[in-house]
Amino acid sequence: MTVSSPLKVSVLGATGSIGRSTLDVLARHPERYRLHAVTAQRSREALRDLCLAWSPARAVIGSAADAEWLRAELGAAGHVATEVSSGEQALIEVAGDPDADVVMAAIVGAAGLLPTLAAVEAGKRVLLANKEALVMSGSLFMQAVARAGATLLPIDSEHNAIYQCLPMQHRGGLERLGVSRLLLTASGGPFREWASADLAEVTPAQACAHPNWSMGQKISVDSATLMNKGLELIEACWLFDATPAQVEVVVHPQSIVHSMVGYSDGSVLAQLGNPDMRTPIAYGLAWPERIDAGVAALDLFTVGRLDFEPPDEQRFPCLRLARQAMAAGGTAPAVLNAANEVAVQAFLAGRLSFPGIARVVAATLEALEVHAADSLDVIMCEDARARRTAEALLQQRSG
């Protein structure tokens, strides 16, 4: 009898919401997985605790000073198993480390693009939570997956649901599979029932209080503006080779149906479950097998009812802006993403109102020409240009 050795897993963004849920699933299956590497940007105490608890071979943190601090803390605890490094180059290098089998891409925002691509280029099994990476570089990203022979598994709950509802081999066009549409569910966020006039008074704490999911601040605000659904629409187009017209957004306030696939014979297949990211994470880790994720069985009698309604793009214009950016193509989605990141940070810092987020994104898209997104240099350059433009718009608004 041969006993296979545990898969080595690197978790990029290990201190975040997805990172912690990933570690929770890994802890349930020590015979199947070993934690190989962990990364964080600033959370040095949390990263130290992870190193002490898990003894990963490698750890990366944002700054050299924090790496120095981490080495000293680990040394003082007599822990020598973890090699500590710092900075973006170290992060990229660890993401593509030949010793790892699986990479969880769970850094938030554009900062995840180069490390996630490094994992793809190294041909890993890549568990993609960092949707912004795909939104920014969709065509190049998918080409890299094919060229490197990487296995790309969507972790975003909706895309994971769609993946589960498609036939196992689904590359090469939806029509060929008899798929007529992808139904992307949206909770509608905390302000689903609010009047437009009240949205001007929304606070960061209210925007971060998602009705169903516990997540990081940035994605929580994106859910509240429906930009999250816009980013997910673009993500779905790249992952499943769909046109924006083939992706229908359906507001489903209970977040129990995680998304659906409509077939040409009238069938609609759905994936349901409690709103807990450990389900898609466990799916990605074990695919094509299934493992325990620690998630309670869905109790349909407690859920009671499932509601569906169309999204309101008047009150929540970010969804329309994302659709427009995808239709414009080229660098427009990267510009949309960068402007949104700047605007969300400004909102969280109290520099911009909640409705101001969509206004800054719209004005940035309007201000910048669309270029062909045919190299990473072009994408990174337009990302930087969009950030400068959005920041200048913020200054004008406050001036």
- Annotated binding residues for 1-deoxy-D-xylulose 5-phosphate, written as ranges, equal 131, 157-158, 187, 210, 223, 228-229, 232
Q: How many CB atoms lie within 10 A of CB 322?
A: 30
Q: Is the dihedral of CA 258, 152, 179, 135 positive or negative?
A: positive
Are 128 and 35 a contacting pair, CB within 8 Å? no
Collapse the DSSP code of 324 into the 3-class scheme (helix H, G, I; strand E, B; otherwise coil) and give the result: helix
- Of 34-42, 118-126, 324-332, 370-378, which part binds ligand NDP (CB under 6 A)? 34-42
Beta 257-263 vs 268-272: how paired, if at all? antiparallel
Q: How many CB atoms lie within 10 A of CB 217?
A: 15
Q: Is residue 278 part of the contact set for ligand DXP (CB under 6 A)?
A: no
| CA dist 60 → 44, 88, 281 (Å) | 10, 9, 22
Q: What phi and psi values does residue 196 have, to the nearest 5 degrees?
A: -50, -45
Least Å distance, CB 232 to Mn ion, is 5
Q: Is residue 131 part of the contact set for ligand NDP (CB under 6 A)?
A: yes
- Of 163-171, 215-223, 246-254, 299-307, which part binds ligand NDP (CB under 6 A)? 215-223
Question: 213 CB contacts (<8 Å, ≥6 apart)?
Answer: 187, 220, 223, 255, 275, 277
Residue list for the binding site: 15-18, 42, 130-132, 156-158, 187, 210, 216, 223, 228-229, 232
- Of 152-160, 235-243, 342-350, 366-374, which part binds ligand DXP (CB under 6 A)? 152-160
CB burial string 140-161: b at 16+ within 10 A, e below? bbbebbeebebebbbbbbbbbb
Least Å distance, CB 173 to ligand NDP, is 26
Q: Contacts with ligand NDP in 95-114 (CB under 6 A)? A: 106-108, 111
Residue list for the binding site for Mn(2+): 156, 158, 232
Distance of alpha carbon 383 from its chain centroid, rounded?
18
Q: Is residue 156 part of the contact set for Mn ion (CB under 5 A)?
A: yes
Our CB check for ligand NDP shows the closer of 223 and 364 to be 223
| Residue 325 binds which of ligand DXP, Mn ion, ligand NDP, none (CB < 5-8 A, kind-dependent) | none
Which of 342, 277, 327 has the alpha carbon at shortest distance from 319? 327
User: Residue type for 99, please?
Assistant: D
Our CB check for ligand DXP shows the closer of 214 and 375 to be 214
Least Å distance, CB 74 to Mn ion, is 35
- Of 36-44, 180-188, 282-290, 294-302, which part binds ligand NDP (CB under 6 A)? 36-44
Q: Which residues bind ligand NDP (CB under 6 A)?
A: 13-19, 40-43, 106-108, 111, 129-132, 156, 213, 215-216, 218-219, 277
Q: Which residues bind Mn ion (CB under 5 A)?
A: 156-158
Q: Which residues bind ligand DXP (CB under 6 A)?
A: 156-158, 186-187, 189, 213, 219, 223, 228-229, 277
